[in-house]
Amino acid sequence: MQCRVFPQPARAFLTDPIFGAFQRMPGQLITLTRRALVSDAVWYRSHSYEYRRLTGGDHQLTSVYQVSEDGGSSVIALHRAVRERDFSPREVQLLNFFHGELGPLIRRALVSATEPSPEKLSPRLRQTLACLVEGDSEKQMAARLSLSHDTTHQYVTALYRHFRVASRAQLMAHVIKRLARREWKEVRLAAESGSDDEG
């Protein structure tokens, strides 16, 4: 079994019948051999096979785990040489189990690294976010932060853009799920201290 990386030309990747087969399959985790995805007739006529043949590869076992709703995926592909045996059902199950355990770990790391966080917000936007978390209306925020209503509305709109949401309800759902995370600590503390000030 080989585990090497060969940069594949973009054209070959886009026309790869294995890649195409996975694109049409539903599910968060899919682990299949090349033969289960693509017939020998299609495979041996493809540009991808010609490319892999140059490296001595033929059999392939591929596992795809969807790590985000926007299409981000973790892919593990194992290859065997032309004269070696194809992957067994047991090997398919082992890779599927392994990727099923690894996938959620990758998902958390990938999502936390790519999603917008409050760390890049200006101090005023963080204050606005803290007011929203406490349930303030825009009018209450304007009075509390000594801002005009128009400025407060601009800040709320900027928060929607930053967090890629379209409404206050979506923003609150996004924020509430993440308040326990380290990078959200400042927003949580600001919201808590604001509640104490009112009491």
Which has more confidence, 178 or 81? 81
Residue 88: its pLDDT value, please? Answer: 95
Mind listing the domains of the chain with CATH numbers? 10-114 (no CATH), 118-198 (1.10.10.10)
Mean pLDDT of 176-190: 65
Q: What is the pLDDT of residue 46?
A: 85
pLDDT of 170 reads: 83
Unique residue bearing structure tokens 């026309």: 15
Q: Is the pLDDT confidence value at 128 over 60?
A: yes
pLDDT at 6 (0 to 100): 40
Q: What is the pLDDT of residue 43?
A: 86
Q: Which of 2-6, 38-42, 59-63, 160-164 has the lowest mean pLDDT?
A: 2-6
**Residue the block writes with tokens 């005009």:** 148
pLDDT tens digits for 33-91?
999 989 989 988 888 887 777 777 788 899 988 876 666 778 888 988 888 899 999 99
Q: Is 54 exposed, middle or buried (0-12, 13-18, 19+ CB in 10 A)?
A: exposed
Confidence of residue 184 (pLDDT cuts 50, 70, 90): low
Measured CA to CA in angstroms, residue 100 lies from 20, 34, 71 at distances of 22, 19, 17
Structure confidence at residue 107 (pLDDT): 65
